Amino acid sequence: MPMRVGFSAFRRQMLERDLVAIEEMLPILGVEKVILTGDMAAEDFSPDTKIELIIVHDTEYSFGRRADFFSYHLPCSVDIDTLVYTPAEFEEMREKLPALGKAVREGREIYNA
């Protein structure tokens, strides 16, 4: 799909505005660490660029339910994807899951309590 001239800059502004609002909420939600991944971390903006976050949070929710909590509590006007790990899971899985390890290496840490 052709992109209008200037749309990339506009999309970037939208995403960065939402990311600032998200960053302000993280201490309130008790998050330990957050890593921005994907196209936004790579600064590759297109019409479908979304905010992709790896969140380390001490929780008792099952893995499948954790993202629901953050979808509800994080202010965002654009698409947001979250993968939420407990601290123990994060330490173990970043060595075992190549995709998670790559995301951690190439992503941008935006919060660390």
pLDDT tens, residue by residue, 44-102 = 888 888 999 999 999 999 988 999 888 888 888 888 999 999 999 999 999 999 999 99
Q: Which of 14, 108, 112 is nearest to 52 (CA)?
A: 108
pLDDT per position as a tens digit, 10-57: 888 989 999 999 999 999 999 999 999 999 999 888 888 899 999 999
Q: How far, in Å, CA of 54 to CA of 110, rounded?
A: 10
Q: Which alpha helices (DSSP H) does 1-113 contain, by range?
A: 7-25, 38-41, 63-73, 87-96, 98-106
DSSP state of 28: T
Domains of the chain from N-terminus onward: 7-112 (3.30.460.10)
